[in-house]
């Protein structure tokens, strides 16, 4: 294929967030010629926005912690739907991966003794999140980026991959994409391909996610014949900004609650005390006095003799509780609830531990969080669902195709604990890089692909320019986001989900006829027009999975099936495929059997 | 002041590339609390879907959305419209110091090249990785950098004199300082900082510090101490050796 610019590598990593960078570092360290492709500039991926911290049982802030406890917390947070092997590897390997970041130059906050400090977060039994104030993701991505640039990785910035090319045997052969700057097509040939493209949050209206989160990797895998798992589980983070409108959805780190912040309704009640679910009974403080004692011990670096405040329950629980308060008419003026840290910590402590939250509210909402409460409400934040992979190697069902980071599914089950994503990225990013390099080493050359397929794809990508008439892609995207927010949000019903599927059908027709102005160079309208296809396919995967799972569990709540059904649904994962016909299909599969020693660990 | 809901705002946005272009006027509806980036997005959604601009986090965390708003280098996502007078036309241009690719997007690749010249931390052999928060604080200030390149954009050495071949610019002096002042670093970069990275070109105008959205005290805390160390090394070797021996970073 001489017609298009072509690059050839052993390993092609798509995505340069924490997972992609870590994979590329590992692959190139193993001797593989490695390409790293990303849609934005290097260092701007979503990982840069992560705030609260990276979870690892380092036992530096509290020596009672261990990988076993981390494993148990993760499984419990995921309501036991997690792929146990991923949760096990993650808990075991996260400490080593975090120490390695430190050796590569990351400067984490310190304890009084000079070790790595760790903060409390929802669902973690001990203080477990290594952090840098509230900008942990920046520290992590910069460290990896600076490490990566010295390893001879070829970085291709502002290139978007649209299609995975395969050979006749179904093995990956390369990736076809376009340069955002010029619109020219480009092919990355590779013996192994690693997807590290992040999440899907741009399918919802209120989200903490950036423009990049258009479900690209999820769709690339599905289109290439891979499977998705746990698609119904989309995490709504309880605390997004609700006011002013322009920042609706922007994240407020859980670190605010970890540092002692409390949630109150318009009647000044700490409503989380009334919202402790069955499975967490006895683990959380039951009075304000006890909760306060816990905070006071923790902030003075002492081991608390009290149980933690219920504000630190898992995200699914807190998000639903907030929604309930607002619906019951006890919300804040702009439709959220109050998050108050001002009355709990000194202004100096707030500014030191949560500098970017302070800054964000001051600049964007005219709110001084050292003096006033914040108004907060749920925001679409993270997808537990993702590409199904082998736990050890991160290889998907498509030979030569690997996936790591938020795009991969299975690790978090029905709900992710805060801090478990950043650790997921480095644990499984490393593994994906290692196994992708190994796989590449076993193959003599990159596979060949069918030139016609490239031509067909290229033609399809250019189609929006040829149309005389058609809608603006932004309008179609907005309608999709509003629809998903309304019908496939925090609380779901059969009626809404069925109606959502019909809407998706209509939106597909509209998406197929959008029209683009201007030329092909750096044209965001065109980029969005193409991304509509991924977003529609993955929205459908989420909706169909949500419809099939007739129970409430973790991040998936069905108003018409409010109970958690451990007998049936608690034993199954939902798997999404794309049929030959192009249809999206979902089926249930039994959970893999957990070895006895792990079963012991999760017993109460 | 622009405040109540559904007011209109008029923007004048540069449309074109390195070969030229023109300021084009757009009027869009805005709501309370909006920032310049929201208005630019509204222009894309309502008038010009093909207009190019970079952004990611929309919360001042990624450093993608740098531009010159009414002549001032800013992050568009942190610049509220109510900073401007009602009825005032707000002009938005790409950074001047780097070549324009299209509209508000510049080619900042030179910065990435500079970064790859700078080596990694060189940890002291056999260290136990213990150090205090006070020691961390000093370096953490530099590590707050979000690579918005606003400091690079305003530094006259790069902006007016285009000495990109001789001077890495404030952003990378900050990065070098973060390595030099790391409590466990054992590297020695002073000669490079002087000879290869061109610290001598900086004449301490502090323009970089003024625009840094992360409030990094670039000049006082990073550049001046580095300059002093270089002076010590060349003109006061005793002080230099003393610092090395006592591990005072
Ligand atoms: C505001 C916020 C705060 C958070 N805080 C925390 C926290 O404190 N702790 C925690 O554990 N988690 C946190 N998370 C979650 C966590 O940050 C993300 O899940 C994680 O960073 C995802 O990393 P990743 O490497 O999988 O993908 P990303 O960092 O999102 O990177 C994706 C990469 O893929 C590229 N890409 C995507 N599609 C394509 C394509 N088609 N072609 C080429 N390249 C492509 C992008 O350009 C990008 O480089 C937070 C998330 C948000 C939004
Ligand atoms: S202080 Fe130095 S680096 Fe900063 S703008 Fe002035 S000359 Fe440039
Ligand atoms: S030092 Fe400040 S102004 Fe310069 S790139 Fe970093 S954040 Fe931007
Ligand atoms: S969009 Fe990230 S800093 Fe403005």
Q: How much helix, strand and coil, in percent to the nearest 5, is found in chain B?
A: 40, 15, 45
* Rounded average pLDDT per 10-residue block, chain A, 604 residues: 90 98 98 98 96 95 95 96 98 98 97 93 93 95 95 95 97 97 96 98 94 96 98 96 90 91 96 93 94 90 89 91 94 95 95 90 93 95 97 98 98 96 98 98 93 95 90 94 95 97 97 90 92 98 98 95 95 97 96 96 83
| Structure confidence at residue A193 (pLDDT) | 98
Q: H helices within A419-523, ranges in order?
A: 420-441, 451-466, 473-487, 494-511
Residue ranges of chain B that CATH labels 3.10.20.30 = 8-106
| Structure confidence at residue A519 (pLDDT) | 86
Closest chain A residue by Cα to residue B30 = A246
Contact between residue A404 and residue A428 where contact means Cβ atoms under 8 Å apart: yes
* Chain B nearest C-alpha distance from A23 (Å): 19
DSSP state of A562: -
| Structure confidence at residue A401 (pLDDT) | 98
A 35-54 residues with CB < 8 A to B: 40-46, 48-49
* Chain A nearest C-alpha distance from B235 (Å): 31
Does the structural domain B109-246 have CATH classification 1.10.260.40?
Answer: no
Residues of B in contact with A348 (CB under 8 A): none
Question: How distant is the alpha carbon of residue A172 from its chain centre?
Answer: 25
Does the Cβ of B216 fall within 6 Å of ligand 2? no
Tokens 């202004």 — which residue?
A347
Residue B247 pLDDT exceeds 70:
no
Contact between residue A226 and residue A385 where contact means Cβ atoms under 8 Å apart: no
A236 bridge partner residues: A380
Residue B63 pLDDT exceeds 70:
yes
| Structure confidence at residue A303 (pLDDT) | 84
User: Domain extents for chain A?
Assistant: 5-235+381-441, 240-378, 459-569
Asked if A515 reaches chain B (Cβ–Cβ under 8 Å), the answer is no
Contact A521 B102 (CB under 8 A): yes
Instruction: Report, at the CATH architecture level, how domain A459-569 is classified.
Output: Up-down Bundle (1.20)
Kindly report, residue by residue over A545-565, the tens digit of the pLDDT.
999 999 999 999 999 999 999
**CA dihedral angle for residue B88, residue B92, residue B97, residue B101, rounded to 10 degrees:** -160
Contact A46 B56 (CB under 8 A): yes
Selected residue with higher pLDDT from B50 and B130: B130
Reported CATH class of domain A5-235+381-441: alpha beta
Q: What is the dotted CATH code of the domain comprising B8-106?
A: 3.10.20.30
Give the distance (Å) from ligand 2 centre to CA of residue B193: 15
pLDDT bin (cut points 50, 70, 90) of residue B4 is very low
Residues of B in contact with A41 (CB under 8 A): 54, 64, 108, 112
Contact between residue B152 and residue B171 where contact means Cβ atoms under 8 Å apart: yes
Distance CA B5, CA B34 (A): 10
Distance CA A271, CA A481 (A): 30
Closest chain A residue by Cα to residue B100 = A181
Contact B56 A40 (CB under 8 A): yes
Asked if A527 reaches chain B (Cβ–Cβ under 8 Å), the answer is no
pTM attached to this predicted model: 0.95
Distance CA B195, CA B204 (A): 18
Beta strands in B86-207 (DSSP E): 90-93, 100-102, 105-106
Residue ranges of chain B that CATH labels 1.10.1060.10 = 109-246
Does the Cβ of B147 fall within 6 Å of ligand 4? no
| Structure confidence at residue B248 (pLDDT) | 60
* Chain B nearest C-alpha distance from A277 (Å): 34
CATH fold of A240-378: Flavocytochrome C3; Chain A, domain 1 (3.90.700)
Give the distance (Å) from ligand 3 centre to CA of residue B193: 18
| Structure confidence at residue A358 (pLDDT) | 94
Whose alpha carbon is nearest atom 9 of ligand 1?
Answer: A419
| Structure confidence at residue A33 (pLDDT) | 98
Distance CA A323, CA A315 (A): 12
User: By percentage, how much of chain B surpasses pLDDT 70?
Assistant: 95
Kindly report, residue by residue over B66-118, the tens digit of the pLDDT.
999 999 999 999 999 999 998 899 999 999 999 999 999 999 999 999 999 99
Q: Which long-range contacts (CB under 8 A, 24 or more apart) does A508-511 make?
A: A508/A536, A510/A471, A510/A476, A510/A479, A511/A473, A511/A476, A511/A536
Asked if A333 reaches chain B (Cβ–Cβ under 8 Å), the answer is no
Contact B120 A473 (CB under 8 A): no
Closest chain B residue by Cα to residue A109 = B133
CA geometry: angle at A39 spanning B144 and B109, to 5°?
Answer: 60
Asked if A522 reaches chain B (Cβ–Cβ under 8 Å), the answer is yes
Asked if A212 reaches chain B (Cβ–Cβ under 8 Å), the answer is yes
3-state secondary structure of A173: strand
pLDDT bin (cut points 50, 70, 90) of residue B1 is very low
| Catalytic residue IDs of A | 237, 257
Whose alpha carbon is nearest atom 2 of ligand 2?
Answer: B202
Contact B133 A110 (CB under 8 A): yes
Distance CA A241, CA A356 (A): 14
Kindly report, residue by residue over B133-179, the tens digit of the pLDDT.
999 999 999 999 999 999 999 999 999 999 999 999 999 999 999 99
Best of A110, A212, A471, A482 to disrupt the B interface (most B CBs within 10 Å) is: A110
Whose alpha carbon is nearest atom 5 of ligand 2?
Answer: B155
Best of A19, A50, A159, A420 for a ligand 1 pocket test (most atoms within 8 Å of beta carbon): A50
Residues of B in contact with A103 (CB under 8 A): 121, 123, 129
pLDDT bin (cut points 50, 70, 90) of residue B3 is very low
ipTM: 0.93
């Amino acid at each position: 294929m001489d017609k298009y610019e072509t690059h050839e590598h052993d390993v092609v990593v798509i995505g340069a967030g924490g997972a992609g960078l870590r994979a590329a570092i590992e692959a190139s360290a193993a001797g593989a010629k490695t390409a790293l492709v990303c849609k934005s500039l290097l260092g701007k991926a979503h990982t840069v926005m992560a705030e609260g911290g990276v979870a690892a049982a380092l036992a530096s802030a509290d020596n009672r912690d261990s990988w076993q406890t981390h494993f148990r917390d993760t499984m419990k947070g995921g309501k036991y739907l997690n792929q146990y092997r991923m949760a096990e590897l993650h808990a075991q390997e996260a400490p080593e991966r975090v120490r390695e970041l430190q050796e590569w130059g990351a400067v984490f906050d310190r304890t009084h003794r000079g070790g790595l400090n760790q903060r409390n977060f929802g669902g973690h039994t001990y203080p477990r999140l290594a952090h840098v104030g509230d900008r942990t993701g920046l520290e992590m991505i910069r460290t990896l980026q600076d490490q990566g640039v010295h390893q001879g990785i070829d970085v291709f910035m502002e290139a978007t991959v649209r299609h995975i090319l395969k050979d006749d045997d179904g093995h990956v052969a390369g990736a076809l994409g376009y340069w955002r700057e010029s619109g020219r097509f480009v092919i990355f040939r590779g013996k192994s391909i690693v997807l590290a493209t992040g999440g899907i949050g741009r399918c919802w209206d209120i989200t903490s996610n950036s423009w990049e989160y258009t479900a690209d990797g999820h769709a690339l895998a599905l289109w290439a014949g891979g499977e998705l798992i746990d698609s119904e589980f989309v995490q709504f983070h309880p605390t997004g900004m609700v006011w002013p409108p322009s920042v609706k959805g922007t994240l407020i780190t859980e670190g605010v609650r970890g540092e002692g912040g409390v949630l109150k309704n318009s009647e000044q009640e700490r409503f989380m005390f009334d919202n402790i679910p069955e499975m967490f009974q006895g683990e959380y403080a039951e009075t304000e006095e006890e909760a306060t004692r816990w905070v006071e011990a923790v902030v003075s670096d002492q081991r608390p003799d009290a149980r933690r405040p219920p504000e630190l329950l898992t995200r699914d629980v807190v998000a639903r509780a907030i929604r309930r308060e607002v619906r019951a008419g006890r919300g804040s003026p702009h439709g959220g609830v109050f998050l108050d840290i001002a009355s709990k910590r000194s202004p100096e402590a707030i500014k030191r531990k949560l500098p970017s939250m302070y800054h964000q509210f001051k600049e964007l909402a005219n709110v001084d969080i050292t003096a006033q409460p914040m108004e907060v409400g749920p925001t679409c934040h993270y997808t537990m669902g993702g590409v199904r992979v082998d736990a050890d190697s991160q290889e998907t069902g498509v030979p030569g195709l690997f996936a790591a980071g938020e795009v991969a599914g299975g690790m978090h089950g029905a709900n992710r604990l805060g801090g478990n994503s950043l650790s997921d990225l480095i644990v499984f990013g490393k593994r994906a890089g290692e196994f992708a390099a190994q796989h590449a080493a076993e193959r003599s050359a990159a596979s060949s692909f069918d030139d016609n397929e490239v031509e067909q794809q290229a033609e399809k990508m250019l189609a929006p320019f040829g149309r005389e008439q058609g809608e603006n892609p932004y309008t179609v995207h907005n309608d999709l986001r509003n629809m998903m927010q309304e019908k496939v949000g925090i609380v779901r019903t059969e009626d809404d989900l069925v109606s959502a599927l019909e809407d998706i059908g209509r939106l597909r027709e509209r998406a197929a006829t959008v029209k683009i102005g201007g030329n092909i160079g750096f044209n965001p309208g065109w980029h969005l027009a193409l991304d509509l296809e991924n977003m529609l396919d993955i929205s459908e995967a989420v909706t169909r999975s949500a419809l099939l799972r007739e129970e409430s569990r973790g991040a998936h709540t069905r108003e018409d099936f409010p109970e958690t059904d451990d007998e049936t649904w608690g034993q199954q994962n939902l798997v999404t495929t794309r049929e030959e016909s192009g249809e999206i299909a979902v089926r249930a599969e039994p959970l893999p059997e957990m070895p006895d020693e792990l079963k012991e660990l999760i017993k109460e | 002041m622009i405040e109540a809901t559904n007011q209109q705002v008029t923007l004048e946005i540069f449309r074109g590339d390195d070969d030229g272009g023109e300021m084009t006027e757009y009027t869009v509806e805005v709501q309370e609390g909006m920032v310049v980036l929201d208005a630019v997005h509204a222009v894309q959604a309502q008038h010009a879907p093909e207009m190019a601009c970079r952004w990611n986090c929309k919360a001042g965390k990624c450093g993608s959305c740098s531009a010159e708003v009414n002549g001032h280098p800013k992050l568009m996502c942190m610049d509220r419209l109510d900073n401007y007078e009602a009825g005032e036309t707000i002009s938005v241009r790409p950074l001047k110091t780097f070549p324009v690719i299209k509209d508000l997007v510049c080619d900042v690749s030179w910065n990435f090249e500079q970064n790859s010249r700078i080596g990694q931390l060189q940890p002291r052999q056999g260290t136990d990785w213990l150090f205090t928060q006070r020691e961390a604080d000093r370096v953490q200030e530099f590590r707050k950098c979000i690579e918005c390149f606003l400091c690079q954009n305003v530094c006259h050495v790069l902006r007016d004199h285009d000495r990109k071949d001789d001077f890495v610019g404030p952003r990378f002096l900050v990065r070098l300082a973060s390595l030099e002042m790391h409590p466990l670093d054992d590297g020695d970069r002073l000669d490079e900082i002087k000879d290869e990275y061109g610290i001598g070109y900086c004449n301490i105008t502090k323009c970089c510090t003024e625009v840094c959205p992360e409030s990094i005290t670039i000049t006082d805390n990073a550049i001046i101490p580095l300059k002093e160390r270089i002076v010590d090394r060349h003109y006061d070797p005793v002080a230099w050796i003393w610092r090395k021996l006592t591990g005072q970073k």
